[in-house]
Amino acid sequence: MENQGKKHIGEEPADTAMPHQIDAPERAAADEKLEKPFVNQYGVVIGDSFYDSANSPLNNWSKDVDPVIMAGDQWVHPTNDIGWNTPENQALLEEGYIPQSGQFMHPSKDVSYRKD
């Protein structure tokens, strides 16, 4: 996918794009500001783009960890999520449309696998 119409890093406000992701969507057209990372109830930083935290269940895995604790909104950042890099979601942003509905997750398929 080409990066047509996107500005170079430094030509746009830091709060409108994710320069560390090569195909990150431009948010200025959608009139949406990036939200800061947050710490969820498990002490894991969400939205910092490092995708690694000392408190993450993935870094403290054992037979006693129930994977269900890693499901839900507390694990998803509203503006720094890998799902925004899909062509469909980039098109929505270019049109200025920000979905306000709840999060969609396929019950048995990881649709973001290998998308980054």
Please state whether the predicted TM-score (pTM) of the whole model is above 0.75: no
Q: What is the pLDDT along the chain (116 residues), one digit of tens a residue?
A: 444 444 333 333 445 555 556 556 565 555 667 788 899 998 888 887 777 788 888 889 999 999 988 888 888 887 777 676 678 877 777 777 766 655 556 667 776 777 66
Distance between CA atoms of 36 and 46, rounded to whole angstroms?
9
DSSP string covering 13-82:
-TTS--TTSTTPPP-TTTT-PPPPPEE-TTS-EESSS----TT-GGGG--TT--GGGG-SGGG--SSS-G
